[in-house]
Structure 1
């Protein structure tokens, strides 16, 4: 059997260098060695030499198939997409059909422009026959080709080149994902038919185990959950940090309208091209920032170079603007035309904006985790936005609906009486327009059963989105707050309009707004990039270091009141922040990201300072619940109890939280006593029933079936914190530790909502 020989060279006071040689057909590589003696069980695998070399002998074959993967970022990203997109067949089928769709759009558009005789179709040309057939409308192929001008041929040539490049990309992806398929089937032992039955968390656990055998990463013996997240989300973490620090120019001031946020798919694509993966980007590969960007004396030179590159990309966007604009029209028309025709009210529905998805995203939060949070916040967000109605617009909308509806019903009755009415010119068009008008103005007419409760609804939204400015507190009823929420939760019609005009606005933003931020961007990469062993260069915010990037108002001075000896005497555990306004993340994003990552990855071993922070938070929440169990009026426990109204899945969570606390309290009160002490009797009774009827060993599985499929693990030892995170929100955890008791109880009692927790404060 072939064997792989690995030689590690250790130099005093230096990290091990990596080199590659070929000896007797075997592959040799270097990895860091800390100089410590290995366990006896590893003596046959690693033999420290006096010369500073360590020789690793690894069997080849299947176990070495994925040994030393050079670009782990791309590999782990493809793994994640493979799992989320349901495997090889679905992914390749989707890409192939997108190629077919592109051919259809180009061919059908050309056909409509040059191969249809519209004078015959609209009966503007006299015909010998009384009835027009399809063959009369379609021109012969020779006439079609003759009618095509130079512009059409240029567009077809560009489209053909683009299609060929897409085809090559699909073939390349096919080979890549076939390798991922083999990795899932052979290394992870996951068959394609079982892919949908496993969560990403379970797949990730297997990857960590496989690393010990395959040694995909040679720089670290063991991978952690954070290492995998770093590699998948390396560039997204940078984007989230830039949005959090208001570095990217996405805010525009328009006369009369005021300040708006403009972030479209095209603009985001150009920014990522310039900053991450383009030929002139600051990154020389997927995992390493160019060395010049780490040098202070190069900042002015790099800023000028980046500014020039931004200008050229803006000019290219301007030159291609007509072509891109035409493509946007075709794409939106074919993609949304039928939906709008069938359901005109679709334009009045809301969706999370692209900016909102970046602003609300935690560091190290995968797409499916973000989607799950925002999906839970969708309904309360829609209700919150719909309660704001203008009395003037309501009166106008009702009268417009009356007039348009009257005309439409008369036309419908006439059509039922005699179908020849449809042949009258513009009758069908008029009916379509009237239907669209009615569907549109209905958005301005409030529901007659609507209850005005903006604070309650906004708090329900924030329980899942987690972030809000201080200006929203107590002002949920104002138009200013609604306008700011609308920037995150926009109308679909606004989204389509922004995407349509994006080719026109993007060159302006690049040339006149983003260029001015070139020096700030260079400074950002230098100041907020750190090198992590075995991972490469990552955004320092993604390390979730509460000491370096934490907000002072989030630190554990309040938790110290519960155990001064533990949290104050030891400076390491005191968590005193070393950050300032420039280095700290806004809106408590560092702390919330740490809490979220800890809860979704309970096996992860955080650094001591992060572990102390979470421990202080856990202790504060536990004391809040315990005080409620011992008969004190406790808003946290009351809100936990009222979660029962949200559904059976939440009952399991509440029961698990309360039981986990009561089990640790010998001689504590009985469930019936606790229930009798709480105000919301009907809600608490449901939680009490669950407490009495469900066994402790069943609860974690019940929680997992209800909530875990999309977001991650539930473990008994961490059920307390995880239950809070799933049932209420990460934000409520932060509120329970860092908000005064008076604020906490006022928000909860007034709103009488299970998720009525204050959220983050701005540091301004």
Structure 2
């Protein structure tokens, strides 16, 4: 399954081959360029020379230093190894290509445009053609096959297979299992997480916890092996720290050179990009949800960037803006004078030296860059100050709101916390450079102290699922809670549930995010489980008449406010629905999985109220898991029938009345789709007479 996803993410056979070849070519270009600049150029001859041939050292390859020659030989072996590796992958890529073309019926030219949900739907349709994994067989036969076969393949299982390792890392970061701080006074309490640290966490922890088949090692599940595994993990961390110290200079030089070559032209062309921001590596892992594939996560994250930038710009920075505005005025005036002089007499003026060896062209670039940077620091005049609204727009996409942010979204403290997650790209690069230096210290001093907690985490938060293997317990979305306790037992139960649950409602957010990504409304074709009435709709502003117009009052009724009131009244009226007898029965969803069972939905027995509450509130109103429970229980008691009348896309999440891409539909006989009960009265009797016989919710026939 990993090969299938990597092939999809790579965009097909030719895109993968082209990307591999270009990456090898880029590394070769960097190696040759650095060798030429470092060993083949006599920089002392540049002031006296006028051509490149006069400064190039003849036969420079014979005069290369021993250390540089060693580096060239290392790169040569690396280059040959990668070429052989990429060539050896070609037969496997061709095999996967045949799988996509002949079994999934997805041609090569569609690989860059097809959605992953469509690929999953076709895989599940293919599953139903296999007797070992089919779901469209009689119940008794399916039960027998299920007892013999341990293979499971639905949308939830596929995501669990692909995210098996990453789910553990998401959970460890969410529960603060990893100690990523150094015992240094000025760095105490600061989490130092970089791409280098992320790579070593995969190498030291995840590669040790999983075997070559991608399953959790059995020793991690045994409490009597705790001390032995903890010692092995400490040794592995210490070895990685020493290894990082050895290769730190090479990695540091490579990162700085690649960053300079990548972003120099971008910053020169648009100096305002120097102040651009992005999420840190730690923020990405905090925002990542269980079973969320990389391409889906980055799509969600990238949509939050405009709102995050607007939120940061919301807070007053009057002194900074005043200083930037003054510097922009002065630098702009000097730039304008120099530009005007170059226009009047470009030949003479551009070669005119303002200072020694510094012509006008040099200062045009300097003052122009200063003007662009300072102008970018000044906020727009039309910006409306409302930080709480801006941050809620960010939370709608990041799904991250700690409990202590409640009621404080407008505060400067929350802004500082968010700024630690959303930093300038230049600052993130400097932190990545510093991370190459701090990572060995973390591996040598900080992480070995929490090795016992890491081993305990894998033992206590690993469960076995038949047909899937060992997975992180949070990834199965099991919201089933035991019977309520009272008194002292309830207090102990709360402590236990707090330990065995995620922070900030991470599991609930992951569940709803998974439903949003893999479920499509058959009536509207809109991804997500939200009913059409709950989705924000755009209403163009009406043409506003003059004050003397006699139709002003009527036009006011037709405005957005009037539509909102009438829309709410209309949504509660059952007469707004179309005729039931003529409606086509939606195709069952091939995404129906164990995820849609009742115990996988938050609240256990309160699944109806929970899912309806969430569907009535878009993601902009994201709240913690506890608040969802409290509000939905009350709302379900107040409106027992209103939600039934308001929302009729096919019933509960437990009913397979949703569909994915229609490219490969599943027959009606293969479904366990349920329908709403017939309404009472004459219309209900007529509706029952026109409906074909199908199983009702209670198991009877209509």
Q: TM-score, normalised by structure 2?
A: 0.71
- Structure 1 residue 474 displacement after superposition: 2.5
Confirm whether residue 509 of structure 1 aligns to residue 442 of structure 2.
Answer: yes
Give SS of 1:490's match: strand
Q: CA offsets, 1:92-112, max 9 Å, x none?
A: 111111000100011011111
Quote the residue 1:139 is aligned against.
57
Q: Is the 8 A contact 1:547 1:577 kept in 2?
A: no
1:322 corresponds in structure 2 to: 249
Please say if 1:236 is aligned against 2:127: no
The 1:683/1:107 distance shift into structure 2, 3 A limit, reads farther
**Counterpart among 558, 561, 573 of residue 680 in structure 1:** 561
| In 2, Cα distance between equivalents of 1:646 and 1:286 | 53
Alignment of 1:498 onto 2:435: no
Structure 1 contact 546–577 (Cα < 8 Å) conserved: no
- The residue aligned with 1:644 is 537
Name the counterpart of 1:398: 325
- Aligned twin of 2:377: 444
Contact 2:388 2:409 in 1 (8 A): yes
* Contact 1:390–1:444 under 8 Å retained in 2: no
In structure 2, relative to structure 1, the CA distance for the partners of 1:116 and 1:474 (3 Å cut) is same
Q: For 2:627 and 2:449, how far apart are their aligned partners in 1?
A: 41
Matched, 1:188 2:104: yes
Q: What is the CA-CA distance between 1:86 and the residue it aligns to?
A: 1.9
Shift in CA distance, 430/114, structure 1 to aligned 2, threshold 3 Å: farther
Aligned residues of 2:539 and 2:560 also touching (Cα < 8 A): no
The structural deviation recorded for 1:332 is 0.5
Which of the residues 199, 207, 221 maps onto 2:123? 207
> CA deviation digits over 1:38-64, x for unaligned, max 9?
xxxxxxxxxxxxxxxxxxxxxxxxxxx
Q: Aligned in 2, Cα 1:476/1:435: closer, same or farther, shift over 3 Å? A: farther
Equivalent of 2:18, from 93, 100, 107?
Answer: 93
Query: For residues 395 and 602 of structure 1, do their structure 2 counterparts lie closer, same or farther at Cα, with a shift above 3 Å needed?
Result: closer
Q: Secondary structure at the match of 2:252?
A: helix
1:161 CA drift (Å): 2.1
> What does residue 597 of structure 1 align with?
514
Q: Which residue of 2 aligns with 1:564?
A: none
Kindly indicate whether the alpha-carbon contact (under 8 Å) linking 2:181 and 2:187 is maintained by their aligned counterparts in 1.
Answer: no
The one-character-per-residue Cα deviations of 1:327-355 (angstroms, maximum 9, x if unpaired) are 11111011112111111211211222222
1:466 paired to 2:390:
no
* Alignment CA distance shift 1:289-1:696 (3 Å): farther
Question: Would you say 1:162 and 2:162 are equivalent positions?
Answer: no
User: 1:220 Cα deviation (Å)?
Assistant: 3.1
Aligned to 1:754: none
Structure 2 distance, partners of 1:491, 1:304, is 39
**Cα offset, 1:135, TM superposition:** 2.8
CA positional deviation for 1:164: 2.1
Query: Are the equivalent residues in 2 in contact too, given 1:208–1:223 (CA < 8 A)?
Result: yes
Contact 1:389 1:444 in 2 (8 A): no
Query: 2:622 corresponds to which residue?
Result: 731
Change (3 A) 1:212 1:577: farther
Which residue does the alignment assign to 1:418?
Answer: 346
* Aligned partners of 1:596 and 1:730 also within 8 Å: no
Say if 1:377 and 1:251 are closer, same or farther in 2 by CA, change over 3 A: farther
- What does residue 662 of structure 2 align with? none
**Residue 485 to residue 215, structure 1, CA distance change in 2 (3 Å):** farther
Deviates more, 1:403-412 or 1:200-209: 403-412
Deviation at 1:88, TM superposition (A): 0.8
Name 1:262's counterpart in structure 2: 192
Shift of 1:85: 2.8
**CA distance in structure 2 between the aligned counterparts of 1:83 and 1:102, rounded to whole angstroms:** 25
Structure showing greater relative contact order (alpha-carbon pairs closer than 8 Å, 6 or more residues apart): 2
**2:602 corresponds to:** none
**What secondary structure does 2:211 align onto?**
strand
Compared with structure 1, are the counterparts of its residues 152 and 431 closer, same or farther at alpha carbon in structure 2 (3 Å cutoff)? farther
CA distance in 1, matches of 2:184, 2:387: 28
Is the alpha carbon distance of 1:188 and 1:256 closer, same or farther for their aligned partners in structure 2, counting shifts above 3 Å? same
Return the offset for 1:246.
Answer: 0.9
Instruction: Provide the secondary structure at the position in 1 that maps to 2:390.
Output: helix
Task: Give the 3 Å change call, closer, same or farther, for CA 415–677 of structure 1 in structure 2.
Answer: closer
In structure 2, distance between residues paired with 1:722 and 1:102? 53
What CA deviation, in whole Å up to 9, does each residue of 1:608-666 have, x standing for no partner?
Answer: xxxxxxxxxx9xx99xx9xxxxxxxxxxx8xx48x224899xxxxxxxxxxxxxxxxxx
Q: Give, in whole Å, the separation in 2 of the partners of 1:477 and 1:357.
A: 23
Report how far residue 681 of structure 1 moved. Answer: 3.5
Residue segments in structure 2 that go unaligned for 5+ positions in a row = 134-147, 486-492, 522-528, 542-555, 584-607, 636-702
Distance 1:532 1:678, change over 3 A: farther
Instruction: Provide closer, same or farther for how the CA distance between residues 406 and 462 of structure 1 changes in structure 2, counting only shifts above 3 A.
Output: same
Post-superposition shift, 1:502?
Answer: 2.3
The match for 2:335 is 408
1:329–1:190 CA distance, 2 compared to 1 (3 A): same
Q: Which whole-Å CA distance do the structure 1 matches of 2:301 and 2:621 have between them? A: 13
Matched residue SS, 1:476: coil
SS where residue 433 of structure 1 aligns? Answer: helix
Check 1:726–1:168 CA distance in 2 against 1; reply closer, same or farther (3 A cut): farther
User: Given the alignment, which residue of 87, 100, 105 partners 2:30?
Assistant: 105
Deviates more, 1:235-244 or 1:288-297: 288-297
Instruction: Tell me the equivalent position of 1:47.
Output: none
SS at match of 1:446: coil
CA-to-aligned-CA distance 1:543-593 (integer Å, 9 cap, x gap): 111136x9x9xx9x9xxxxxxxxxxxxxxxxxx989522211111112222
Asked if 1:383 is matched to 2:310, the reply is: yes
For residue 288 of structure 2, give the secondary structure of its aligned residue in structure 1: coil
* Structure-1 residue corresponding to 2:500: 583
Q: Could you tell me which residue of structure 1 aligns to residue 296 of structure 2?
A: 369
1:488 aligns with 2:430: no
Q: Check whether the contact 2:170–2:288 (CA below 8 A) recurs between aligned residues.
A: yes
Equivalent residue, structure 1, for 2:39: 114
| Cα gap change, 1:493 to 1:336, in 2 (>3 Å) | same
TM-score (norm 1): 0.66
Structure 1 CA distance for aligned equivalents of residues 564 and 430 of structure 2: 45
Distance 1:495 1:315, change over 3 A: same
Distance across 1 between alignment mates of 2:616 and 2:90: 39
1:295 aligns to 2:186 (yes or no): no
Q: What is the count of residue pairs matched by the alignment?
A: 560
Q: CA deviation at 1:421?
A: 4.6
Structure 1: distance between partners of 2:131 and 2:35: 53
CA distance in 2, matches of 1:646, 1:445: 32
Aligned partner of 2:548 in structure 1 is none
